[in-house]
Amino acid sequence: MPLSDPDFSRLTASDAARLLQRRALTAQALLGACIEVIQDREPQVLAWREYDAPRAMEQARQLDQGPIRGPLHGLPLGVKDLFDTRDFPSGYGSPVYRQHRPSNDAAAVALCREAGAIVLGKTVTTEFATFTPGPTRNPHHPAHTPGGSSSGSAAAVAAHMVPLALGTQTAASVIRPAAYCGIVGFKPSFGLIPRAGVKSLSESLDTVGGFGRCVDDVALLTSVMACAPQWRQLPEDRKPRIGVCRTPQWDKASPAARQAFESTVQRLIAVGVQVVDVTLADSVSALTDVHDEVMCAEAFKALADERVNHPDLLSERLRAMLERGSRITFEQSLQHRAQLASARHRMGRDFAGYDLLMTPSACGEADSGLEGTGDPLFSRIWSLLGLPSLNLPVGVGPQGLPLGVQLIGPVMSDTATLAFTRWVEQALARG
């Protein structure tokens, strides 16, 4: 039975891509369904800084009349407003750049367009991808945050406005919004996707990632940006060995988050996954604070022009962060690098005993109120280590909001990490 138009917006990106590649679905029909959802839900969710439906529809028409462009042919895409775009303003979540119109696309955006994606518009980001939120609301409950800093991208995918969206992560800006919004978010290994044309916050941490509704979706999207076609042809039978890591911050997880985590462990054991409890070494556990100091110190340098020439346009929260960064000395930064090298060496040895590490994705359900974006606590270490990590939704909490678990692989093991996490996703869906 053919799908009716409203159903198109609920297709996963990977399913829609297969239909588009066979010409069993038109780009115009898929985009039209997404636009209908935006018109219906955007007044409540506020995921978009700007979108252009007529321009996107003209691109869809051209794609339908021309040859298949690539693996993202005809897929509508939301782009976090931290990326430069040649046909939309790029405000980086700050009034400093209210009138800023780049002449070129960020490299990641250009790669997606080359592969046939339709950039529908720019999604809301927090201020310079830090902690001061924009207007976006959680699509499951408008009184709760969608997380940050990739707020609009996660909300737009979760609300079925687009099947795919781009995000970035410096602390937890892909994993936490994905967990809060109940979708899949993937942060690849540091450096695999180009950051040219993405507003910098921290040279050692900023990583481009993406959002979708399943592991195949984020593998499809990020494969294009990383020029890694093997991520679209993942091995089918990759039952992982999983290291279960409750981390030293376990007491910061809500009862609901802990219950969902432990339930997920038991479900995986029931389907034959080899599970081992993992305790982090002190050198790794200490990286939570190191990450915070590295981010502040590097933000102080990256945002030099803004803090010198436009201090009155920066939020009080950001000014405090930059002030903290100014007090971190060069010698302390060198010490941080030494700590990081030691921890990476230790983690490289530890991963010999398992394929994936599993931790909570966030402290719990999305926080109520819109003054903040939640605590990045459970992702800081993995962002500093540059490891590939992915959020999988695993249930809902007592407020009816999503909960997730974070699956982490060894550095530069992204193909295997995606394959193993897809196996876990499918096993949990069957169970």
| Residues belonging to the active site | 80, 149, 173
Q: Which amino acid is at 323?
A: E
Phi, psi at 303, each rounded to 5°: -105, 30
Cα–Cα distance, 141 to 421 (Å, whole number): 28
Measured over the CA atoms of residue 176, residue 383, residue 352 and residue 218, the dihedral's sign is positive
Read off the tokens for 169. Answer: 């992560």
| Largest interatomic CA distance in the chain | 66
The vertex-54 CA angle with 52 and 60, nearest 5°, equals 105
Phi-psi region of 364 (alpha: psi -120 to 50; beta: other; left: phi over 0): left
SS in 3 state form for 167-199? EEECCCCCHHHHHHHCCEEEECCCCCCCCCCEC
Q: CA neighbours within 13 Å on the CB side: how many for 13? A: 34
